[in-house]
Structure 1
Amino acid sequence: MTHPRHLSNPPVTEAVIDFVFDRSIDEDGVRSLAKAVRDVREGWELTEFGHVETTVNVTSGETYKQSRAFEGMRLSGDSGRIIIQYRCDRVTVSHVGSYSEWEALADDAMVAAVAFAESAGDAQIKRTGVRFVNVLSLKNSVTDLLRSPPKPIRDGWTLTDYWDRQVFKDSSQHSISVTLATVAQRPMAEEGPGQKVLLFDIDVAKDCSVELESEEMASALQDLRDVKNAVFFGSLQEAALEAYK
């Protein structure tokens, strides 16, 4: 990998590190773990989350079966900027709204993962992942931002809207998902079409078997970051990065 590049004002709206473990804990264990973590973090909020399954009669439209399944516990701190999610075999840590340092995100993720591993009886990591959601200002054409978007069929055409999702697996067995889409972004209180932006969502994951708090773990996370950066910087026009340097 090349030497990592750094933007002083990155267009990241959410940065995520995700760990999947080789052991799991039950629902009560997840609740107890999350409460213990919350109790040593002043001002943090704790909520339970899950999913609802609904069965509907297609003829009448009536709901005749509905069930709610536990999925995990969510901790939110620093005015919602940091989110920790504990599931039965998984820990996900997100920095939302603003992102400045990889080291801060990695440190928060490691602390949360160590707490889970201890609760699960020295569980080991079996899969790691990172996800970065970027939002870039779109002033004119998508071709101003992307290196290789679709080519206009005729001269004078402007590519103003775009959606694409691609999934790769490289020679090192990284699973890479890339989503690019133009969307209208505006504050909820405002009306009208809003400013158009390019959503650039990069998700990189890899199966592994490493110990927490080891050089190998730090290296595994840095490896995922390097792949993410290769996709990000390799996909954008250099001029598109000027506003974020």
Structure 2
Amino acid sequence: MRAGTDCALVLNLSLWVLQCSQNVRGYEDWYVDLATQPDLIEVMADCLTESMLGPLELVTAEIGDLVDVISVSDDIGHQDRLCMSPATYRRVFKPRHARMMQAIRSRSAAPVMWHTCGSVVDVIDDLVEIGVACLNPVQTTAARMDPIGLKKTFGDRIGFWGGIDTVQVLTRGSVDDVRREVRAKIGALAPGGGSILNPTHNVQPDVPVENLLAMVEAGLAYGRYPLKSGA
């Protein structure tokens, strides 16, 4: 595969401990449990972690240097905040996430990208601490996820993969709006390296083709290193 492309090869894995526990209990019961019987959630999180560690260890032990990036995910953010308090995340889910990250990083040198939608600014330092090298999708329309602030505060410790608004700009904006969005996000996140231009979610069916093309063209025009002046 590597001989046939100059693109990065990405292995997509899953660390859905939090999301799986939500799916098992249902969202409403999960939140009630987290508040009233957190021990139940911790036992469930341990069981889910153990069930995922085996496959993670097998896969990462085999890939060697065959991939450039390992992508994992567990959504921990809502539009306006984390889906729990930062203290609860650190007590309940961070230790389980750390175990799985250790399983990956002890077997592969590939940097790990973590996907989580929403406002996660309160735990970016925690993700860095457990070994995350890149944050995806950098949902800049969520609360306190201003790209300039993210770059200034965390840009020397973590990369940013994403940033292009799929909610308003790509879907409802003009071609010129899309070009401005691309240049603004490149200007905010790319200086000094550590930025991969990408939409903040999968491109939806209602995105006009011309907007998608404008995003790609503007990215190619202004997003290559060394960056053009004024990008």
Same fold (TM over 0.5): no
More strand by share: 1
Higher relative contact order (CA 8 A, sep 6+): 1
More helix by share: 2
Compute the TM-score of the two structures, normalised by the length of structure 2.
Answer: 0.30
